[in-house]
Structure 1
Amino acid sequence: MSDWADNPRLNTWLTAQQTAFPAWARETGQAWDFTVDSMDRLEQLLRKRLAARHDLLAAEAVEQPAVAVPGWYLGEVLNRNYGTRWHRNPVEPTHPDQPKTPFVQFPEDPEAEYDDEENMPPVCNPINEIRSLFVREPSYHLRHIVNRFERWVPLRDHSG
């Protein structure tokens, strides 16, 4: 999966979001510092701006900054705080089960063995997580994503 971590399709998307981020941040009127605590503010902003699911789907369909930049930001918070890395299929997916949008996960550990899915390191597809805010129970929060990574990091640190 190493070519999923460095390919033109991923790199083009990352560059577009990095370029759009400063204008998006100014437009929100908030300071974005890539801390875990900023997840609550990001969620509030998304819930306010994308109040209806059709707003989210419309913004996502054309990769507008309204969804793509917050997705990038969420992934960057995980990358900067937990050591995950971006990945994206180097070719346009043809199967519905293949991820269409970039995701973050821990770097592969060739020595790791996982006995079941419960023990596998978490993966986060930020665009899907943003979409989930509008289809899951109201008690679901972006903070839950962070918690999945926080719980796994000590296990990862002790294994290597």
Structure 2
Amino acid sequence: MSDWADNPRLNTWLAAQQAAFPAWSRETRQDWDFTVDSLDRLERLLRERFAGRAELVAAEESGRPEVLVPGWYLGEVLNRNYGTAWHRNPVEPTHPDQPKTPFVQLPEEPGAEYEDEDDIPPVCNPFTEIRGLFVRGPDDHLRDAVIRYER
């Protein structure tokens, strides 16, 4: 899966989000410090901006920074605080079960063979987590995405 961690499709997406982050940050009028605590502010911002999942997904599919940058930001919070790294299919997925959006994952141990899916290092798709806010209800929080990394 190493080509999933370094490929033109992923690297182009990461560069675009990193470049869009300063303008998005200014537009939100908030200080984004990549801490776990900042996820509460990110969640409030998303819940205020989008009326529901359909509106959020439409914005995501059209490539709007109001969704893409928060997805990148959530992944970066995990990367900077828990050691995950970005991954993305190097080619456009053709099967509906393949992830279309980038995700973060803890590094695999060198030479490790995983017999069970539960043994694979934890994965977080920030876009799935953000979409879930509008499906799972008010008791679901972005902060919950970090629980699997706190051991």
TM-score by length of 2: 0.94
Q: Does the 8 Å CA contact 2:107/2:121 hold for their aligned counterparts?
A: no
- The amino acid of 1:97's aligned partner reads D
Q: Does the 8 Å CA contact 2:43/2:141 hold for their aligned counterparts?
A: yes
Q: Does the 8 Å CA contact 2:40/2:143 hold for their aligned counterparts?
A: yes
Higher mean C-alpha displacement, 105-114 vs 30-39: 105-114
Partner of 2:13: 13
SS of aligned partner of 2:104: strand
- The amino acid of 1:27's aligned partner reads E
Distance across 2 between alignment mates of 1:145 and 1:111: 27
Per-residue deviation, residues 11-70 of structure 1 (Å, max 9, x unmatched): 010011000000000000100000111011111111111122222022111111011000
Partner of 1:43: 43
Partner of 2:148: 148
> Percent identity among equivalent residues?
75
- Within a 5 Å distance, the mapping from 1:2-81 to structure 2 comes to 2-81=2-81
Distance across 2 between alignment mates of 1:79 and 1:130: 17
Higher mean C-alpha displacement, 142-151 vs 104-113: 104-113
Distance across 1 between alignment mates of 2:138 and 2:35: 23
- The amino acid of 2:147's aligned partner reads N
Distance across 2 between alignment mates of 1:106 and 1:13: 20
CA shift, 1:78, in A, is 0.4
SS of aligned partner of 2:94: coil
Unpaired runs of 5+ in structure 2? none
SS of aligned partner of 1:104: strand
- Within a 5 Å distance, the mapping from 1:134-145 to structure 2 comes to 134-145=134-145
SS of aligned partner of 2:35: coil
Q: How many residues align?
A: 151
Aligned Cα RMSD in Å? Answer: 1.3
Per-residue deviation, residues 76-101 of structure 1 (Å, max 9, x unmatched): 00000111100000000000000000
Partner of 1:98: 98
